[in-house]
Amino acid sequence: MANLSKTVPTTDDLKQRIEQALPGADVQVEDLNGGGDHFRAEVVSDRFDGLSRIEQHKLVYDVFGNEIGGAIHALSLKTSTPGGNQ
Amino acid sequence: MSTTNEEIHKFLEEAIAENEVMLFMKGTPDAPRCGFSMRTSGALTALGVRYAAMDILPDPRIREELSAISDWPTIPQLFVQGKLVGGCDIVMEMYETGELAELLGVDQPEDVEPEPPSVRPAAPMQLENRLEG
């Protein structure tokens, strides 16, 4: 079990890493099935301003690189700007 | 297995170019092998548009080459007129707001509640599905 908790990312890990990559972002992360592999993140950041949804999601996916589809099997995203999307 | 990565890459590029609405998914619209793929193909089906769908599971290189083309890490991936629209989250968000219907040039259905998970019999289990469900 000690091993498991080390290798499985936690919601706090994900939240911190997104916040580091997008300073000032408001980030909520939930573990959808409690297994540490299907997450949902809601990210509000002014960095998304003027970007398409694709570009917004890519900014977040880029934080995790190859871990998406690997250690993190699924990361469901909802992104918006502080003033609302679009 | 004699197909080369280059051949797969070329095949995928042609599929994206030749099909106005092209969905890459796990499984097929009739027998999706992942909830995200099921919801995405379900939205297209609900809009009544004709779309091409390709199962990426039979060869892991399909996914590798697809992500190389799209610079997008996850499955499903929806392309419209050769352009990546997004994965499940973006497609479902656009479905619910009516943007997807507008993009595809169809009328928005009155009831856009996401469909409940289907209760079709489970497909034969393979290791990959168990890992990537």
Q: pLDDT for B27-60, tens place per residue?
A: 999 999 999 999 999 999 999 999 999 999 999 9
Neighbour order of strands in the sheet with A38-44: A26-31, A38-44, A74-80
pTM of the model: 0.82
ipTM of the complex: 0.79
Contact B72 A58 (CB under 8 A): yes
pLDDT band for position A17 (cuts 50, 70, 90): very high
Contact A81, A44 (CB under 8 A): yes
pLDDT-above-90 percentage for chain A: 64
- Rg (alpha carbons) of chain A, rounded to whole number: 13
Give the minimum alpha-carbon distance from B89 to chain A in angstroms, rounded to a whole number: 6
Residues of chain A contacting B90 with CB distance shorter than 8 Å: 53-54, 57
Distance in Å, alpha carbon of A69 to nearest chain B alpha carbon:
7
Nearest by CB to residue A69, choosing from B71, B74, B88, is B74
Q: What is the mean pLDDT of chain A?
A: 87
